[in-house]
Structure 1
Amino acid sequence: MTRPASLIPVPALSDVAEYAYAATVVPSTRLVFTAGACPLDADGATVAPGDHAAQARQVMANLETALAAAGARLTDVVKTTVYVASARQEDLVTVWEVVRDHFGDHEPPSTLLGVAVLGYTDQLVEVEAVAAVGHDG
């Protein structure tokens, strides 16, 4: 089977980034677009107020659950956007390390942003993703 997506590292660009710079998706592949995964527990409460890393772990668990409901996995993700409610670069790095570790060797292109505020009380982290699933997925 042809892989539904390919991640593209770009040797001409810096290797400091811990992700591929681009991704391609085979036409007719089923795309999955997630809403922003939030650091909410099953009752809708924001977990770990004030703790960027703990919220990022909850966000990634929720993202995996949402992807699974759509028949996808983290290894199918071809693009993420990571939002961090902070003006401190250290907080963005803390969140990024959690997100990166959840993806392991799979390094989809990603955008990491510091924002002023997110939608839920005490929310510090949100991650949205696009995944490409093959015909058998």
Structure 2
Amino acid sequence: MSVASTHPSLSIVSTPNAPGAIGPYSQAIKVGDLLFCSGCLPVDPSTGAIPDDVAAQTKQALKNLRAVVEAGGSELGKVAKTTVFLKNMNDFLTVNKYYEDAFGDHKPARSAVEVARLPKDVLVEIECIASLK
């Protein structure tokens, strides 16, 4: 579902299939031929539950990212760039396995960074930029 923005060249993307924004931001914004997705947390949109381990959190964050990308009119195969935020870089290999499962043969440009803390004290957050063409 898309909602018009106050600026004519921007469109706000919102879907109930991913957790709602927990602050003054949008799940994603369309501008031109690009979709800019905010960081997706590993929150189950129907229950609000957050899995305990990094593997389950990664799968849920990627599921939420897919939902936002698709609501914006794109698909994971059109993602050009991702940023993966990790609470602990020691989890990189585990996150990488599920990331690879989600993207398959498509390999977007990516950055992965360790951060001191993430919203809701989750272990992983993933954002992306996707093409709409």
Assess same fold via TM > 0.5: yes
Give the partner amino acid of 1:36: G
Structure 2: runs of 5+ lacking an equivalent: 1-30
Listed as ranges, the matches of 1:57-76 within 5 Å are 57-76=59-78
Please give the residue correspondences for 1:9-48 in structure 2 after superposition, counting only pairs within 5 Å. Answer: 30-43=33-46, 45-48=48-51
TM-score (norm: length of structure 2): 0.72
Is contact 1:56-1:95 (8 Å) kept?
yes
Equivalent position SS for 1:81: strand
Normalised by the length of structure 1, the TM-score is 0.70
Match of 2:112 in 1: 112
Gaps of 5+ in 1: 1-27
CA displacement, residues 65-106 of structure 1 (integer Å, 9 cap, x when unaligned): 0011100100010000001111xx431221122112210000
Report if aligned partners of 1:77, 1:108 keep a CA contact under 8 Å in 2: yes
4+ runs of 1 displaced by more than 6 Å? none
Q: How many residues end up aligned between the 2 structures?
A: 103
Cα RMSD after superposing both structures: 1.7
CA contact (8 A) 1:37 1:63 kept: yes
- CA–CA distance in 1 between the matches of 2:55 and 2:102? 12
2-structure distance, mates of 1:117, 1:57: 19
**Higher-Rg member (1/2):** 1
Q: Percent identity?
A: 36
> What is the CA distance between 1:39 and its match in structure 2?
0.4
